[in-house]
Amino acid sequence: MKGFEDRFSELQADMISICMEYVEDRADKVFIYASCEEGMVSGKFFYLINNQYVKCHKVNDALENGEESYDVSPERMFKVLQIIGEDIEEIEILCKEYERDMPTEMKLIYDAKSGKFQAEYKYDLIHTNDDIKTADDFADEWFEEIKNNNL
């Protein structure tokens, strides 16, 4: 029987996998922002492709001459977001089952070239305590931070 850590890792790997599938495994890095607070689940994903940081709907902007375009149809993008959301909900169920704290914020980075995976978790309320910003705003801020610092 799989334990908490194994299942938690599998769910994170599933998020990475679906995001890599979205770009046909043609990304240098994938970044996933996942949020779960007060019953609200949110996720966003973006990439480093050809040394350009791009949001999921802009991946074709990073292509070089002759590279095949990505299918960035809304249906595909929403399917990825749906799967990320389902994985976040599964993590929440898993945490309850094992009586563990559920992260309110997860920042996942997968380096496809090296195979390295990084994760940062927060457990305090983030967007719930902010009168103005939503989870999407925090995800956008992280994108800008990643892009500006070449992470």
Size of the chain, expressed as the number of residues it contains: 151
Measured in whole angstroms, the distance separating CA 7 from the mean position of its chain's CA atoms is 17
73-102 confidence digits (pLDDT tens): 999 999 999 999 999 999 999 999 999 999
Contact predicate 140/133, CB 8 Å? no
CATH of domain 4-149: 3.30.500.20
Q: Mean pLDDT over all residues of the chain? A: 93
3-state class of 121 per DSSP? strand
Token output for 32: 């996933």
| Count of CB atoms situated within 10 Å of the CB of 113 | 9
Please state the rounded mean pLDDT for residues 127-140.
Answer: 83
User: What pLDDT is recorded for position 113?
Assistant: 94
22-47 confidence digits (pLDDT tens): 999 999 999 999 999 988 899 999 99
User: What pLDDT is recorded for position 39?
Assistant: 83
Which DSSP helix (H) or strand (E) runs through 94? helix 74-97
What pTM, to 2 d.p., does this model score? 0.94
CA distance 105 to 126: 8
Q: Which of 36, 35, 71 is nearest to 56 (CA)?
A: 71
Q: Where are the domains of the chain?
A: 4-149
Q: Which of 54, 78, 58 is nearest to 69 (CA)?
A: 58
**Is the pLDDT reported for residue 1 higher than 80?**
no
Q: What is the residue whose two structure tokens read 């992470």?
A: 151
User: What pLDDT is recorded for position 38?
Assistant: 86
140-151 confidence digits (pLDDT tens): 999 999 999 877
